[in-house]
Structure 1
Amino acid sequence: MALQRILVVKILVVSLLNGCINANKEVCKTSIEGASTQDWIKWGDNFYKVIMEKMPWLEARDTCAEMGGVMVTPKSENEGRFLAGITPLSDDFRHFWINCNDRLVEGTWECDGKTDIPYQPWLGNGYEPNNYGINGEDCGVTYEGGIGWADCPCSLQLHAVCKKPLAVLHL
């Protein structure tokens, strides 16, 4: 319950900072079909939703697609810091899936369907991605809640954050 209150406060602060609270101090509603006010957080030109259930990478990707979005890939340090700000303050959310993988060709990373990736904050000065272990690591995760990236086995059970383009209706 305390974790849920912390998340609600973080959502309100992030919404306020991004101008998505109206004169009645209500969080903006989205025109995204099937989304409730509490589900999506506005930042910049997009909405974001933290997936509270842990799941493997493919399931997380498909869950975001079912909601009409994509699994997030931070495009800048600012977006990474925003993501760190909307995920709960717990070790459970220290890592979450991003829409990057090298499942087709080892070492050729694809993010959001593209191999030309201008922002790649891999951890450890070349240590990540490292394809560690017998079965390898082919799916991307964030570390420190969005600040750095690493690779992990796609079968791990982790949280995800979904992203959709902006479509806001103020109350």
Structure 2
Amino acid sequence: MGKLDVLMLETLLIYMYLMNGCSNATNEVCKTSVGASTQDWIKWGDNFYKVIMEKMPWLEASDACAKMGGVMVTPKSENEGRFLAGITPWPTNSVNHFWINCNDRLVEGTWECDGKTDNPYQPWGSGEPNDYKGREDCGKANSGGIGWGDIPCSNYVHAVCKKPVAVLHL
């Protein structure tokens, strides 16, 4: 692909981005094309978010987000947790939660969030993580986005995907 082709593609991406109503404002819905389908993502700050309504195990949820060009969300602040509470359509209680991109599958008790062990924001709920019965290795956030816990990775749970605004797939 020549320089002119790359410039034309970049111009097309910017045009499509602007034509779909996206701007620098927060909390708006923007459309991005993924393959032949159009999916809604919610813009907040410098990222897009998408709630996966189908419940699935942790690894499947992680793969689903990757296929859409994102990652499972790990709230980075209380504000982001509250934003997530606003976009998750199910009632706030301990039964309704969503996966976060945190686990201790490699070394019990060493939690990796987004592939790092030094995540400064980890609002674990009281007594969490507790590895109940020695089989809880994946993280989840209550639908309020605050109050994390660990549960078995094989549980079927909702997920929220996140990707930077700059990532557009055609």
Matched, 1:44 2:30: no
Report 1:40-119 matches (<5 A): 40-90=41-91, 94-119=96-121
Give the structure 2 partner of residue 128 of structure 1.
Answer: 128
Deviations 1:63-117 (A, max 9, x none): 1011110000000000000000000133597211000000000000000011111
Which structure has the highest strand share of the two? 2
* Deviation of the 1:42 alpha carbon: 0.3
Identity of paired residues, percent? 76
TM-score scaled by structure 1? 0.76
* Deviation of the 1:144 alpha carbon: 3.8
Where does the alignment leave 5 or more consecutive residues of structure 1 unmatched?
1-14, 21-26
> Do the aligned partners of residues 59 and 92 (structure 1) sit closer, same or farther apart at CA in structure 2, a change above 3 Å counting?
farther
RMSD: 2.3
> Do the aligned partners of residues 108 and 144 (structure 1) sit closer, same or farther apart at CA in structure 2, a change above 3 Å counting?
same
Deviations 1:30-83 (A, max 9, x none): 3x53463x5200000000000010000000001101111000000000000000
* Deviation of the 1:28 alpha carbon: 3.2
> Do the aligned partners of residues 76 and 19 (structure 1) sit closer, same or farther apart at CA in structure 2, a change above 3 Å counting?
closer
SS at 1:58's partner residue?
helix
Matched, 1:18 2:26: yes
Residue type of the alignment partner of 2:157: L
Residue type of the alignment partner of 2:54: E
Give the structure 2 partner of residue 8 of structure 1.
Answer: none
Matched, 1:146 2:145: yes
Matched, 1:159 2:158: yes
* Deviation of the 1:143 alpha carbon: 1.5
8 Å CA contact retained: 2:136, 2:151: yes
8 Å CA contact retained: 2:27, 2:42: no
TM-score scaled by structure 2? 0.76
Larger Rg: 2
* Deviation of the 1:122 alpha carbon: 0.3
8 Å CA contact retained: 1:93, 1:159: no
> Do the aligned partners of residues 93 and 44 (structure 1) sit closer, same or farther apart at CA in structure 2, a change above 3 Å counting?
farther
